[in-house]
Amino acid sequence: MDITSETRTIDQLVPISGSDSYFIPLYQRNYSWKNEQIDQLFADIRYEDENYYVGNLLVVPHEQQGKNIPDAYDVIDGQQRLTTVSLFLLAIWQRAQEISNDENTSRDDIMKTGTIQSDIKRRLIFNNSDDALEPRLHLLEEDDTVYRSLLRVLNRNEPGRTGRTAFAKRYGYIRKLFGADAFPTIGELDKFYEKLLKVTILRIHVPDVTDAFNVFSSMNSKGLPLTLVDLLKAEFISDAGEYLDRKAEETTNQWIALSETLSRDGEPDTGITTQFLLNNWDAFESEDNRSITKSSALKLYRSRIRQYYSEKRSDYLSILQERAGIYAQILCLPEHEHHDQTIAKRLKALVQLESTQSYPLLMELLGDPGLELEDTLPQILDYLIAFYVRRNITLVPKSSNIRARIIRLTRELKQHKYTGIAALNLIRNGEGDIQGLNAISVDDNVLRTTLCTQGIYDKNKATTRFVLIDLERRLPGEGIVSKARPDTFDDFVKNSTKQRRWSIEHILPEGNLPDTWNNAISPDNPDQAKEIQAECVHLIGNLTLTPYNSELGQRTFDEKKRYKDPTSSDITGLAMPLKINVSIPDVENGETLESKTTWTADDIKRRSAWFADQIAQLYSLN
Q: Are 367 and 283 in contact (CB under 8 A)?
A: yes
Asked whether the CA dihedral 397, 403, 409, 410 is positive or negative, the reply is positive
Angle at 385 between CA 379 and CA 391, to 5 degrees: 140
Q: pLDDT tens across 238-281, in order? A: 788 888 888 877 888 898 899 999 988 766 788 899 999 999 99
d(CA 451, CA 604): 11
Among the listed ranges 104-108, 305-309, 396-400, which one has the minimum average pLDDT value? 305-309
Task: Express as a percent the part of the chain with pLDDT over 70.
Answer: 93
Cα distances from 54 to residues 43, 78, 198, 211, 388, in angstroms, run 12, 10, 11, 23, 48
d(CA 339, CA 148): 50
d(CA 321, CA 258): 5
- Examine the pLDDT at 359 and tell me if it is beyond 80: yes
Alpha-carbon dihedral 186, 187, 193, 198, rounded to 10 degrees:
170
User: What does the longest C-alpha to C-alpha distance in the chain come to?
Assistant: 106
Q: Is 606 helix (H, G, I), strand (E, B) or coil?
A: helix
Band of residue 218 on the pLDDT scale cut at 50, 70, 90: low
d(CA 1, CA 308): 27
Q: pLDDT tens across 477-512, in order? A: 988 888 778 999 999 887 777 788 899 999 999 999
Non-local CB neighbours of 393 within 8 Å, separated by 6+ positions: 447, 450, 451, 456, 459, 460, 463, 467, 615
d(CA 542, CA 601): 9
Mean pLDDT for the stretch of residues 179-190: 95
- Residue of 120, 122, 45, 41 lying closest to 78 (CA atoms): 41
3-state secondary structure 333-345: CCCCCCCCHHHHH
Q: pLDDT tens across 433-490, in order? A: 999 999 999 999 999 999 999 999 999 999 999 999 999 999 999 888 887 789 999 9
d(CA 231, CA 27): 6
Q: Are 274 and 298 in contact (CB under 8 A)?
A: no
Cβ atoms < 10 Å from Cβ of 182: 14
- Examine the pLDDT at 550 and tell me if it is beyond 70: no
- Residue of 189, 138, 149, 195 lying closest to 171 (CA atoms): 149
- Examine the pLDDT at 142 and tell me if it is beyond 90: no
Mean pLDDT for the stretch of residues 58-65: 85
- Examine the pLDDT at 159 and tell me if it is beyond 80: no
Mean pLDDT for the stretch of residues 48-63: 87
What is the reported pTM? 0.71
pLDDT at residue 549 in the model: 54
